[in-house]
Amino acid sequence: MLKPEDNERLVRVGPGKPAGKLLRRYWQPALLSEELPENDCPPVRVRLLCEDLVAFRDTEGRIGLVDAYCPHRRAALFFGRNEECGLRCVYHGWKFNVDGDCVDMPNEPSDTPMKARVKILGYPTIERGGVVWTYMGPREHMPEPPDFEWTRAPATHRLVSKTVEECNYLQAMEGGLDTSHASFAHNNHLGSKNTLRNADTAPRSEVELTDYGYRYISTRNAGEGRCYVRVYHYVMPNQQMRGAFTPLLTNLNGDDPYVMPKSDGHLWVPIDDEHTMVYNWACSSDQSVPLSPEFRDRWETWAGRGANDLIPGTYRLKRNRSNDYLIDRKIQKTQTFTGITGINTQDYALQEGMGPIVDRSKEHLGSSDKAIVILRRVMLEAIRAVERGEMPPGLAPESHRYIRPYDGVIASGTRWQESFAKELVAKW
């Protein structure tokens, strides 16, 4: 359980709020590169950390991320014309470049001093790994750009997507960091004890604090003197990386998406206090094996967000809160634990089902919740560090540049640290 005042400090993300200030000290995903597919393409609405913004790619390919409303009389710049290195408001023609400078004010005398004075709020952007990242904190504290194995991997070996989740970022992230739920919520083979995560539903977990957040390890008995060990990373402040190298199933042919040795993960980026944009990534660990179109389709469909699972023209799932995720009670009785199709759709049902902001004062946490308890502690401490005027942890790319998650089956009694040593280092 958590004191209500600590819960409030963790979940509110607007400007000036404790967690809002912390999250703004890191580069955050603002949108996918594919949403701005070419120079001078239509602008895109972005809501991020309770702020309404608009993104555009200018004639030179640079990306602007500026206030959604024109500083003249607040018309929506989403309707603007993206032309000749700037976004022009269609109400009275004021035009802004990617830095937020007003470069044209055609409804005022040509010598107006106002043009030099007016600036629109804008944030710096950078493209890495198919994602447009932005930094919304104090400029003097801007860290180096994000740098992870998956952002360095070429587009052929990396997959990135995003989906909207209708709840606060923290409960979504806690759901991602939770280890034991995989044996229940994601049990899509009722009656089979043959999958690595179903054979042992009470994994032991270890958490090791690091400079970038923490590394945590779950260990399950895998029978015949072996155990299944999965190494995860929590990277400050809102990213998780998981090893997905080992096939989950030993006798269920055909539907195991873990055929590809890879790492995968999520970033839970607050849209506002009650909505989250979940960025999903996966990265082949083998430089000779790109992620094929078939694999991409299969992986995303397995997760519940394939091309046919999204409401067209949006990043929202067709199976959503408004239709109870199309839960099938018959399938729930006979085939899968939840009766809901799509691994991450199952997560959304459970996380959104708590309400937009869960009341953590009513919880009863057990030993399997260790990673979640430590997450809250690390976040609260980082919030306090920012309030004291100190730098929060994990800003320096050196702390996380070469980390990699991993999972594998080893003989019981063997140390995973040694067995996995080579694989835990980024190859890209």
Binding-residue pattern over the window 50 to 79 for ligand FES, x denoting contact by CB under 6 A: --------------------x-xx-x----
Binding-residue pattern over the window 15 to 54 for ligand FES, x denoting contact by CB under 6 A: ----------------------------------------
> Can you tell me the distance from the alpha carbon of 28 to that of 25, in angstroms, rounded to the nearest whole number?
9
Q: Which is nearer to Fe ion, 332 or 419 (CB)?
A: 332
Burial label for 267, CB within 10 Å (0-12, 13-18, 19+), is: buried
Residue nearest Fe ion by beta-carbon distance: 347
State the minimum distance, in angstroms, from the CB of residue 73 to ligand FES. 4
As a whole number of Å, the end-to-end CA separation of the chain is 40
Peptide bond into 356 cis (omega under 30): no
Q: How many CB atoms lie within 10 A of CB 151?
A: 20
Q: Which is nearer to Fe ion, 28 or 338 (CB)?
A: 338
Residue 72 near which of Fe ion, ligand FES, none (CB within 5-8 Å, type-dependent) = ligand FES
If we measure between CA atoms, which residue out of 36, 15, 279, 273 comes closest to residue 136? 15
Q: Any idea which residue has 């080992």 for tokens?
A: 246
Residue 70 near which of Fe ion, ligand FES, none (CB within 5-8 Å, type-dependent) = ligand FES
Residue 3 near which of Fe ion, ligand FES, none (CB within 5-8 Å, type-dependent) = none
Among 33, 50, 85, 91, binds ligand FES (CB under 6 A): 91
Q: Which is nearer to ligand FES, 92 or 401 (CB)?
A: 92
**How far does Cα 390 stand from its chain's mean position?**
25
DSSP conformation letters of 241-258 = EEEE-S-SBSS-TT--GG
State the minimum distance, in angstroms, from the CB of residue 132 to ligand FES. 24
Q: Which is nearer to Fe ion, 40 or 347 (CB)?
A: 347
If we measure between CA atoms, which residue out of 140, 159, 426, 110 comes closest to residue 292? 159
Site for Fe ion in 324-363 (CB under 5 A): 347
Residue 241 tokens, joined: 């990386």
Q: CA dihedral in degrees (109, 115, 118, 124; nearest 10)?
A: 140
Is residue 258 a contact point for ligand FES (CB under 6 A)?
Answer: no
Amino acid at 24: R
Q: Which is nearer to ligand FES, 49 or 54 (CB)?
A: 54
Residue 89 near which of ligand FES, Fe ion, none (CB within 5-8 Å, type-dependent) = ligand FES
Q: Which is nearer to ligand FES, 74 or 141 (CB)?
A: 74
Identify whether the C-beta of residue 183 lies closer than 8 Å to the C-beta of residue 198: yes
Report the SS3 class of residue 283.
strand
Site for Fe ion in 220-279 (CB under 5 A): none
Enumerate binding residues for ligand FES (CB under 6 A). Answer: 70, 72-73, 75, 89, 91-94
